[in-house]
């Protein structure tokens, strides 16, 4: 395989802990890599790393090209897995031409982009102009690394982002995004002496990327956990614990609640749970065939959430919108605006935190949608905060690097690639604000199931992506 060196570096990366906000070992790995090869390397205060390599012989007069990817990954695992992202190497297999991590995320988003840039830095037989490889941190939690990049950290005027997930497609635009988080304060409630305490689990949702997969109509664990609670709330149960979903940019795959149930209502609560389970399996038979539902007795908790707060929380989770809000009127098939009801969990200090994320190609619509979500939370009595957000990346159809990439793909494979904008967020939106004179494009190999266990990389597409990348570096 022509990409064996890329895969060698990626295998090394899968052994390095690099959850967003904890990329220290990855930063040290990149610094050591540069030092061993005598390459220019600098690191900023947040952990972004830039490694530069001089132009190949004969390419000294070509303009510098920036290759950019992010070092962090979304750390998601199956509920049955004991995997520890802080120390365990990612376990993957090769099946039918795919590299797959069955029980966790693989981290090819964006480890394969980082590995590709490293392979170019490592190989003196590759023809290229001067390259500046920019490795950013904490992309998955809000593009924090890209936000912190200062003027002068890179000098190139052409940037290739290696973080797209469909080979044969060149991305020239993306949606902007922001988080809206609601926090409920509650009082502890004593349980009635005769109450039965049980745990109810809704799991097995496919989940996925809250940008790329938000239009797939998949099961949402937060939404459906609230649906169950709403159906049994008139039976005078008490909510002792709730957790559903996890990452802001991932569709919630399941949820779990612990309830204190009056003894005379136990059978009815279980019956309603089983009835809902049957309905959900039917509703999501196509999109989420692996759904499962469990009910079991648990040790009696010390207390419950007061019913007034719990009731307001349940109604808020039912009312918060989730999914596609609007399609683009300009680009057929492109999602313009969406929102993800991402998570709910009990936090310290008698707090319940609800996480959501809004995306839109139109910044004013993104802000309006965040206000709508905030209104629901505030009406339910929550305190609301918004993240700073990040801008969209407006397509430039006159882009020189876009023309170079399209010509390269046609020359290599004899067919026309697709030029598009995407609904996911890319760091290019922030770079466009910081470096308005930089010409940008994004492309990569085919990934599927990102941000969820089962994430996989198509190895044949990696070969084609690599061929295009090397050809572009020769011709840009």
Q: What is the pLDDT of residues 35-77, one digit of tens each?
A: 999 999 999 999 999 999 999 999 999 999 999 999 999 999 9
Q: For residue 331, what pLDDT is reported?
A: 82
Residue with tokens 């707060």: 309
Rounded to whole angstroms, the Cα distance separating 303 from 282 reads 35
Q: For residue 147, what pLDDT is reported?
A: 95
Q: What is the mean pLDDT of residues 308-337?
A: 95
At a CB cut-off of 8 Å and minimum separation 6, what does 36 contact? none
Q: What is the DSSP string of 400-455?
A: HHHHHHHHHHHHHHSSPPEEEEESS--THHHHHHH-TT-EEEE----EESTTSTT-
Do 120 and 228 fall into the same domain? no
Q: Which helix (H) or strand (E) holds 56?
A: none
Do 116 and 245 fall into the same domain? no
Q: What is the mean pLDDT of residues 101-128?
A: 97
pLDDT of 1 higher than 70: no
Provide, rounded to the nearest whole percent, the portion of the chain with pLDDT above 70.
100
Tokens, residue 205: 């949702």
Do 165 and 204 fall into the same domain? no
Q: For residue 91, what pLDDT is reported?
A: 97
Among 66, 171, 198, CA closest to 476: 66
Q: Domain of 278: which CATH number? A: 3.30.70.360
In this prediction, residue 355 has a pLDDT band, given cuts at 50, 70 and 90, of: very high
Q: For residue 97, what pLDDT is reported?
A: 97
Provide, rounded to the nearest whole percent, the portion of the chain with pLDDT above 90.
94
Do 163 and 186 fall into the same domain? no
The catalytic residues are 72, 139
Do 184 and 163 fall into the same domain? no
In the chain, the number of structural domains is 2
Please check whether residue 115 is in contact with residue 9, taking contact to mean a CB–CB distance below 8 angstroms: yes
Do 15 and 134 fall into the same domain? yes
DSSP secondary structure code for residue 265 in this structure: G
- Peptide bond preceding 110 in cis form (omega within 30 of 0): yes
Do 166 and 192 fall into the same domain? no
Length of the chain: 476
Find the domain containing 86 and state its range. Answer: 4-175+392-475
Tokens, residue 293: 């539902």
Listed residues 386, 408, 441: the one ending a domain: 386
Listed residues 366, 386, 406: the one ending a domain: 386
Q: Domain of 119: which CATH number? A: 3.40.630.10
Rounded to whole angstroms, the Cα distance separating 114 from 112 reads 5
| Beta pairing, strands 98-100 & 93-95 | antiparallel
Task: Kindly provide the residue ranges of all beta strands, DSSP E only, lying in 263-417, ordered along the sequence.
Answer: 292-297, 304-305, 323-327, 335-347, 351-360, 383-386
- Least trusted range by pLDDT, from 56-70, 98-112, 389-403: 389-403
Do 215 and 343 fall into the same domain? yes
* 3-class secondary-structure state, position 358: strand
Please check whether residue 78 is in contact with residue 103, taking contact to mean a CB–CB distance below 8 angstroms: yes
Q: What is the mean pLDDT of residues 420-442?
A: 93
Do 160 and 259 fall into the same domain? no
Do 169 and 225 fall into the same domain? no
DSSP secondary structure code for residue 341 in this structure: E
Do 280 and 368 fall into the same domain? yes
Q: What is the DSSP string of 186-223?
A: --EEPPPTT-EEEEEEEE-----BTTTTTTS----HHH
Listed residues 324, 355, 386: the one ending a domain: 386
- Least trusted range by pLDDT, from 25-34, 98-107, 325-334, 335-344: 325-334
Rounded to whole angstroms, the Cα distance separating 179 from 160 reads 27
Model pLDDT for residues 151-187, shown as the tens digit of each residue:
999 999 999 999 999 999 999 999 999 999 999 999 9
Do 164 and 29 fall into the same domain? yes
Please check whether residue 222 is in contact with residue 285, taking contact to mean a CB–CB distance below 8 angstroms: no
Rounded to whole angstroms, the Cα distance separating 137 from 183 reads 27
Backbone angles phi, psi at 233, to 5 degrees: -60, -35
Mean pLDDT (the chain) is 96
Q: For residue 79, what pLDDT is reported?
A: 85
pLDDT of 243 higher than 80: yes
Model pLDDT for residues 284-320, shown as the tens digit of each residue:
999 999 999 999 999 999 999 999 999 999 999 999 9
């Amino acid at each position: 395989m022509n990409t064996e060196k890329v895969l060698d570096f990626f295998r090394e990366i899968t052994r390095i802990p690099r959850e967003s906000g904890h990329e220290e070992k990855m930063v040290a790995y990149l610094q050591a890599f540069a030092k061993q090869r005598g390459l220019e390397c600098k690191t900023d205060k947040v952990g972004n790393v830039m490694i530069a390599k001089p132009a190949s012989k004969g390419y000294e007069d070509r303009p510098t090209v920036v290759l950019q990817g992010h070092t962090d990954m979304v750390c998601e695992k199956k509920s049955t897995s004991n995997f520890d992202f802080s120390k365990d190497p990612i376990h993957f297999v090769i099946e039918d031409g795919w590299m797959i991590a069955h029980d966790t995320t693989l981290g090819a988003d964006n480890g394969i982009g980082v590995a590709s840039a490293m392979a170019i830095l490592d190989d003196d037989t590759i023809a290229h102009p001067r390259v500046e490889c920019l490795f950013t941190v904490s992309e998955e939690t809000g593009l924090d690394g890209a936000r912190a990049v200062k003027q002068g950290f890179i000098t190139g005027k052409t940037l290739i982002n290696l973080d797209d997930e469909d080979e044969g497609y060149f991305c020239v635009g993306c949606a902007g995004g922001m988080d809206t988080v609601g926090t409920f304060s509650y009082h502890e409630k004593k349980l009635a002496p005769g109450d039965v305490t049980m745990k109810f689990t809704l799991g097995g949702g496919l989940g996925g990327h809250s940008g790329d997969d938000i239009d797939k109509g998949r099961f949402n664990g937060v939404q459906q956990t609230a649906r169950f609670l709403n159906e049994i709330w008139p039976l005078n149960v008490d909510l002792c614990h709730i957790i559903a979903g996890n990452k802001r940019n991932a569709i919630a795959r399941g949820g779990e609640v612990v309830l204190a149930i009056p003894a005379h209502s136990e059978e009815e609560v279980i019956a309603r749970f089983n009835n809902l389970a049957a309905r959900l399996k039917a509703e999501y038979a196509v999109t989420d065939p692996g759904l499962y539902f469990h009910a079991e007795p648990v040790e009696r908790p010390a207390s419950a959430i007061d019913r007034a707060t719990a009731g307001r929380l349940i109604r808020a989770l039912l009312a918060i919108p989730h999914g596609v809000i609007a399609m683009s009127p300009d680009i057929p098939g492109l999602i313009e605006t969406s929102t993800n009801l991402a998570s709910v969990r009990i936090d310290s200090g008698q707090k319940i935190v609800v996480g959501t994320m809004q995306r839109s190609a139109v910044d004013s619509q993104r802000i309006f949608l965040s206000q709508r979500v905030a209104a629901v939370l505030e009406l339910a009595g929550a305190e609301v905060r918004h993240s700073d957000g990040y801008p969209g990346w407006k397509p430039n159809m006159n882009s020189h690097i876009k023309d170079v990439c399209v010509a390269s793909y046609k020359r290599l494979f004899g067919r026309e690639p697709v030029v598009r904008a995407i609904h996911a967020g890319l760091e290019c939106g922030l770079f466009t604000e910081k470096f308005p004179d930089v010409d940008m494009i994004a492309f990569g190999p085919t990934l599927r199931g990102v941000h969820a266990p089962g994430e996989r990389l198509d190895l044949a597409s990696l070969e084609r992506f690599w061929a295009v990348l090397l050809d572009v570096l020769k011709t840009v």
